[in-house]
């Protein structure tokens, strides 16, 4: 048994049992992948995969149990390397953050600026994607920290912490009829074409739920993952926009008006997440505490070892 066999087993499951994709991902050949799988099964004396001819269809019952152990072994191997890097050089290395466009564009810049001033030798990487993609990046070890409003709490391998709470706001061109109303209702919004976030982004599920509970069907004429795109199409008159409140800047968006409607939509919570069981470098914890003051390495450790706690609520 060797690490390459274990990596191939894990990657085969991640790639939906497509051995060609596994070979390409691990920079090897498909025959080599097949041989490693056969050798591992022969050594263990059990079949790990369900087969139909030469095709792999899924994991057998012993295969599912083996995979659990393999995941732990490979995570521990990654942790060993991280520990060595930590003590070899405490202030150099890479730090990968997986997040959405909204967080990268509007919530993170000032904190990243402060962090870079203190850790100039740490190379930061920002991966942007959907909340589901972000969770997958964190789970497979391609990211150290994840930040998103949706999805992260659905993955058992991930521990999440409250980052900050925010509301949706309505944006309209100057002179729009909604600017003349003393108070705005969901029914008022539903009278106009709406431009907002794509499903699964920036609290869109909460917003959809509010309209549904009010018995309203909003006319969503365009959806996007980027608030800047939403603002562009509101500006040309395609409809009214519903965006995260922090995505509006009076000095940059002076052609638009933000209408705060905190009572129309439930508040949203952006969450910071890490992979359970992973060893993080000290500078990763330094960034986490800048994001969520008071969320120290010790408090994270206490949380991860207390299975009775479902989540933590540290707010900035």
Residue 74 confidence (pLDDT) above 90: no
Name the phi and psi angles at 143, rounded to 5: -140, 150
Residue written as tokens 């969450």? 271
Residues 6+ apart with CB under 8 A from 216: 186, 187, 190
Give just the sign of the alpha carbon dihedral 186, 188, 192, 197. negative
Strands 93-99 and 145-148: parallel
**What's the sign of the alpha-carbon dihedral 16, 304, 97, 313?**
positive
Per-residue pLDDT band at 196 (split at 50, 70, 90): very high
DSSP state of 182: S
At CA 239, angle to CA 200 and CA 108, rounded to 5? 45
List the strands of the sheet with 122-128, edge to edge. 122-128, 93-99, 145-148, 268-275, 158-166
**Which pLDDT belongs to residue 253?**
92
Name the band, by pLDDT with cuts 50, 70 and 90, for residue 306.
Answer: low
- Does 245 score more than 70 pLDDT? yes
Crossing angle of helices 61-88 and 3-14, rounded to 10°: 120
Q: Is the pLDDT score of 84 beyond 80? A: no
Q: What is the DSSP letter of 201?
A: S
pTM of the model: 0.73
Question: Where are the strands (E) in the chain, listed by range?
Answer: 49-52, 55-59, 93-99, 122-128, 145-148, 158-166, 168-173, 194-197, 220-224, 240-244, 256-260, 268-275
Is the C-alpha dihedral spanning 37, 42, 48, 53 positive or negative? positive
- Choose the most confident range, by mean pLDDT, from 29-33, 49-53, 166-170: 166-170
Query: Please, are residues 149 and 130 in contact by the beta-carbon 8 Å criterion?
Result: no
Q: Read off the pLDDT band of 91 (50, 70, 90).
A: confident
Task: Quote the percentage of the chain above a pLDDT of 90.
Answer: 46
Distance in angstroms (rounded) separating the CA atoms of residues 247 and 107? 9
Long-range contact set of residues 259-262: C-beta below 8 Å, sequence gap at least 24: 259/169, 259/170, 259/171, 259/172, 259/178, 259/179, 259/184, 260/167, 260/169, 261/167, 261/168, 261/169, 261/170, 261/184, 262/167
Hey, what domains does the chain have and what are their CATH numbers? 3-84 (1.10.10.10), 90-165+268-304 (3.40.190.10), 168-260 (3.40.190.10)
Residue 134 confidence (pLDDT): 92
Contact status, residue 292 vs residue 314, Cβ threshold 8 Å: yes
How does the average pLDDT of the chain come out, rounded? 88
Measured from the Cβ of residue 237, the count of other Cβ atoms closer than 10 Å reads 9
* pLDDT tens, position by position, 95-147: 999 999 889 999 999 999 999 999 999 999 999 998 889 998 998 888 999 99
């Amino acid at each position: 048994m060797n690490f390459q066999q274990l990596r191939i087993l894990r990657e085969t499951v991640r790639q939906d049992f497509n051995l060609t994709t596994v070979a390409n991902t691990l920079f090897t050949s498909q025959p080599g992948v097949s041989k490693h799988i056969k050798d591992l099964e022969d050594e263990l004396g059990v079949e790990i995969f369900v087969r139909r001819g030469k095709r792999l269809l899924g994991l057998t019952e012993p295969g599912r149990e083996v995979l659990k152990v393999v995941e732990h072994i490979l995570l521990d191997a990654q942790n060993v390397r991280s520990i060595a890097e930590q003590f070899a050089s405490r202030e150099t290395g890479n730090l990968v953050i997986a997040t959405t466009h909204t967080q990268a564009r509007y919530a993170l810049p000032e904190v990243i600026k402060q962090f870079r001033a203190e850790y100039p030798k740490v190379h930061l990487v920002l991966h942007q994607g959907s909340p589901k993609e972000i969770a997958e990046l964190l789970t497979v070890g391609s990211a150290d920290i994840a930040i998103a409003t949706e999805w992260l709490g659905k993955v058992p391998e991930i521990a999440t912490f409250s980052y900050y709470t925010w509301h949706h706001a309505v944006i309209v061109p100057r002179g729009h009829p909604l600017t003349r109303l003393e108070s705005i209702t969901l029914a008022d919004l539903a009278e106009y074409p709406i431009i907002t976030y794509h499903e699964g982004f920036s609290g869109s599920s909460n917003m959809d739920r509010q309209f549904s509970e009010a018995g309203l069907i909003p006319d969503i004429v365009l959806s996007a993952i980027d608030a800047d795109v939403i603002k562009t199409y509101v500006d040309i008159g395609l409809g009214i926009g519903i965006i995260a409140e922090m995505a509006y800047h009076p000095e940059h968006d002076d052609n638009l008006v933000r209408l705060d409607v905190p009572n129309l939509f439930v508040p949203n919570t952006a969450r910071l997440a890490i992979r359970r069981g992973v060893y993080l470098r000290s500078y990763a914890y330094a960034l986490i505490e800048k994001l969520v003051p008071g969320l120290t390495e010790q408090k994270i450790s206490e949380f991860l070892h207390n299975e009775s706690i479902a989540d933590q609520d540290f707010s900035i």
